[in-house]
Structure 1
Amino acid sequence: MQRLMKLTVLSLVAIGFAAGCNKKETEEQSSPAPQVTKALSTVVVPAQVQGKWKAVQIEVADKNAHLKKVYSVKIGSDFKLPGSDLTLKVETFLPHFVMEGTTLTSQSNDLVNPAAQLVIRENGKEIYKGWLFSLYPATHAFQHPQYGFTLVDYQPAS
């Protein structure tokens, strides 16, 4: 009799467990996929870098005209690209770019891994915000049907 009761209890537990698993699987199948949240990065310009750089040189390649021209763009200022509807703004320059978790910063004021944070607007609308790396120009390169952008030089503050 006890053996029969144990078998009955074990059977009920097994049925309950199986039903619970099926219910959970059904809930997982019917629930929407989890949302992936992209971690926002923070740019930190260390005191040893602040105010030490006044501009960067950006080479603009006009793919249609097969021409390249270098422009000096002051850090923090808007620059209207001649003959286009584009405005460039270098928000930040980091001479020794490093990424520490979600923080983007510069380890020193030495030109080890120069990077410029660039915002591009077309007819006033932001179409790109990202980084140009002089050592790795193809990394995260902005794709525009007519223009290409490359960080080529940097101008220290006087």
Structure 2
Amino acid sequence: MKRLMKLTVLSFIALGFAAGCNEKEKTEQAAAVPQVAEAPSAVVIPDQVKGKWKAVQIEVADKNAHLKKVYTLDIGSDFKLPGSDLTLKVETFLPHFVMEGTTLTSQSNDLVNPAAQLVIREQGKEIYKGWLFSLYPATHAFQHPQYGFTLVDYKAS
């Protein structure tokens, strides 16, 4: 009976240890992905980045037609997605995206973690405002019934 209890206790300890390892791995993986706070954040564009980028390229996947097309969107300008009621606008591009507290900024002008802040309007109504990350396309990805959006390239001024 004592031997059975020891084996049971050891089994629980082993299970707990294994679960702890899995949680540690999940935590390490999550730390690698950019996290953007859901609370309002300030976007600060450093002087070394201001005016250095003129456009980004976004791949638009039409899920119904099974087609993908890349469009060049000028930063700060509206872009009407052909054949749809959607208007896209890249508000900000940060080549080295980082989050410092509640501030979103770029640590440098190097393409370390490129991110674009995208606003999508449907029939004039804002339906999405968030970030596209070229290194992590699935992170905070906008879910639209017909279209998918991926940041694929960047154009310097």
TM-score by length of 2: 0.76
Which consecutive residues of structure 2, in runs of 5 or more, have no partner in the other structure?
A: 1-37
Instruction: Show CA shifts across 1:63-113 (max 9, x none).
Output: 000000000000000000000000000000000000000000000000000
Bigger-Rg structure (1/2): 1
Of all paired residues, the percent bearing the same amino acid is 89
Amino acid at match of 2:108: S
The equivalent of 2:90 in structure 1 is 90
Q: Using the alignment, how far apart are the partners of 2:101 and 2:56 within structure 1?
A: 26
Q: Using the alignment, how far apart are the partners of 1:132 and 1:39 within structure 2?
A: 17
The equivalent of 1:80 in structure 2 is 80
The equivalent of 1:21 in structure 2 is none
Deviation at 1:146, TM superposition (A): 0.1
Matched, 1:41 2:79: no
Which consecutive residues of structure 1, in runs of 5 or more, have no partner in the other structure?
A: 1-37
Amino acid at match of 1:115: A
Amino acid at match of 1:144: H
Q: Using the alignment, how far apart are the partners of 1:40 and 1:65 within structure 2?
A: 36
The equivalent of 1:113 in structure 2 is 113
Matches within 5 A, 1:9-158: 39-157=39-157
* Superposed structure 1 runs of 4+ greater than 4 Å apart: none
Q: Using the alignment, how far apart are the partners of 2:39 and 2:114 within structure 1?
A: 23
Q: Using the alignment, how far apart are the partners of 1:39 and 1:152 within structure 2?
A: 27
Deviation at 1:39, TM superposition (A): 3.4
Deviation at 1:40, TM superposition (A): 1.7
Instruction: Show CA shifts across 1:31-50 (max 9, x none).
Output: xxxxxxx6320000000000
TM-score by length of 1: 0.75
Amino acid at match of 1:79: F
Aligned length: 120
